[in-house]
Chains A and B, each alone.
Chain A
């Protein structure tokens, strides 16, 4: 029978550290994508990813089973992203801080689709955090309003309004053929 997240956490807290690897396996994709969608670069994401999972391990004792583990882990990842952004503002000139995204070369026949994807992702990166995170967590990570509200510590109504507004902002900035 598969262990629940709570079982794994109990094992870790009792000293069986190796079981943490199972927790990582379950949530590695979620955590990495939250970080990657925020930072936009592999290098920063790799560093933050390790930092976040170490934070998660060190905080296991404070995990509240009233929340889903994915929500709790996402909150830690988002907080780490905020810290990263803050540190980056202090150390990196603004010009280079605005460069986002890896070069993602692909087959020529996929060029247009990839370019469109790139433009959408860049537009998302250009949104202020308060709008960007609801978009990423809802549409890219598949979190519910309730879970996003828990992650961002905001009421669901605010999350919902920000997501609506973010969609309209994206539509406005990607209005290729003057549709709006």
Chain B
């Protein structure tokens, strides 16, 4: 398909309803003077018009009643418990800090290093895992839910791992002492 410079982009943004008046005038001028863009604009307008004005489908009232009957038979949903990952991560940080604080006389620098080490582990682990989950979800949209579950599982593992990193830092400070 041939392209017509910036006007292809303008046309798409027009159908996004994202153009200001000046840009609409610009596009309008171009479409009037370019036969190919006029045909494309008319074709896309027709397609999008059909999509946006197609009569919406309606569920029957019986379906709603059926859902309500099922809902009445179900237990009241409980609020979800807070995720374990943030708790583990916080525990890891606190543990690392507590150990570092226990090493009297080692100064604020070592203390901060131990805490930063732990924080770094948690954040980097979560970020990398989110990237992996997005990648999997992008390749296989049907797995998006699984990828999300994978994300949380790995975050939990990452948090546990970060606790170990924090401990290692603390032990290192202890040995130096």
Interface residues of A (CB under 8 A from B): 12-15, 17-18, 20-21, 24-25, 28-29, 31-33, 36-37, 42, 45-46, 49-50, 53-54, 57-62, 79, 82-83, 85-86, 116-117, 120-121, 123-124, 129-130, 133, 135-136, 138-140, 145, 152-155, 158, 160, 163-164, 167-168, 170-172, 174-177, 179-180
Contact = CB atoms under 8 A, between A and B. Distances in A.
Interface string B6-17: 000000100110
Given A130-B141, A154-B137, A171-B44, 20 more contacts: A13-B77, A17-B72, A32-B59, A46-B60, A49-B59, A59-B77, A60-B77, A61-B79, A82-B141, A85-B142, A116-B46, A121-B50, A121-B51, A152-B144, A160-B16, A174-B47, A176-B43, A177-B39, A179-B39, A180-B1
Q: Is the interface of A mostly helix, strand, loop or mixed?
A: helix
Given A12-B76, A17-B71, A46 B63 contact: yes
B137 A57 contact: no
B138 interface: yes
Interface of B: 1, 12, 15-16, 36, 39-40, 42-44, 46-48, 50-52, 54, 56-60, 63-64, 66-68, 70-72, 74, 76-80, 134, 137-138, 141-142, 144-145, 148
B18 to A, nearest CB: 9
Contact of B141 (A49, A129, A136, A174): A129
A58 B134 CA distance: 26
Contact of A179 (B42, B52, B60, B67): B42
Contact of A46 (B1, B39, B59, B144): B59
Given A32-B58, A57-B77, A179 B47 contact: no
A8 to B, nearest CB: 13
Q: Taking each of B42, B60, B77, which has the highest tally of chain A beta carbons within 10 Å of its own beta carbon?
A: B77
Contacts, number: 139
Contact of A32 (B57, B70, B145): B57
Given A53-B67, A117-B50, A139-B48, A154 B74 contact: no
